[in-house]
Amino acid sequence: LLSGFLENLKGLGINFLGVQPAPGNARGGLTTIEEKSLGTIAKAGKSPIQGLIQYTEKPKGKGLWLMIEPSLDVESMTGLAGVGVNVIVMTTGRGSPCGNPIVPVIKLCGNPKTCDWMAENIDVDMSPIIKGEKSVEELAEVLWLKMKKVLNGEKTQAEKLGFNDIAIWRNTAAPFQYMHCK
């Protein structure tokens, strides 16, 4: 799957390293695809990766799966909705104000400036971890409770603000989006 993806990029004349990190990531301080990848790995947790799937392809079983996707907020959320996820947990360092008309989007942010500046767009403020005020475990519990509430009908900030964006990816340069299926 991965080698086919890389061949596709090569055939399109796309330098994968030349398009990553995305401009918003660079403005947020990331300088390399390796830095961006470390963030992805950290957010994925400790579950073993079960495999790779194409954009909108349903996973073949339980566990953590990587989906080839464009690393663009709206297109990535559309792909996850196409897979059939029940909720999207989106991390944003710059406060991306988007949502999805099919699946609720819970936005997390750990950037203290963004959490202050765009508080109305953020569902769970993770900046106390960065500030040393709370542990990852404490805020994981906050996120878990928020997910339960949203899955039981509570509106996310994106839903309250009317953000319901959708765009279908045309399968060009992309890293991976992960999902954990139960």
Residue-wise pLDDT tens digits, 45-73:
788 989 888 889 999 999 989 888 877 88
- On whether both 19 and 64 belong to a single domain, the answer is yes
What residue type is 47 in one-letter code? Answer: S
- Across all residues in the chain, what is the average pLDDT? 84
Q: Are residues 106 and 51 in the same domain?
A: no
- The answer to whether residues 119 and 175 belong to one domain is no
Tell whether 77 and 161 lie within a shared domain: yes
| 103/39 same-domain check | no
Contact 17, 34 (CB under 8 A): no
63 and 106 share one domain: no
- Same structural domain, 79 and 120: yes
* 34 and 49 assigned to the same domain: yes
Q: Give SS3 for 154.
A: coil
| Residue whose tokens read 């950290």 | 42
Phi, psi of 107 (to 5 degrees): -100, 130
180 Cα distance to chain centroid: 12
Asked if pLDDT for residue 177 goes beyond 70, the answer is no
Encoded tokens for 54: 């194409």
Q: What is the percent of the chain where pLDDT is above 90?
A: 51
Does residue 37 sit in the same domain as residue 98? no
Same-domain check for residues 91 and 155: yes
Range of the domain at 7: 1-70+170-182
Please tell me the total count of domains within the chain. Answer: 2
Residues 82 and 161 in one domain: yes
178 and 143, same domain (yes or no): no
Q: What is the pLDDT of residues 80-122, one digit of tens each?
A: 999 999 999 998 888 788 999 999 999 999 999 999 999 999 9
CA atoms within 13 A on the CB side of 69: 26
> Are 147 and 129 in contact, with CB atoms under 8 Å apart?
no
User: Which residues, in sequence order, are bridge partners of residue 130?
Assistant: none
Query: Strand, coil or helix: what is 104?
Result: coil
Mean pLDDT of 20-32: 71
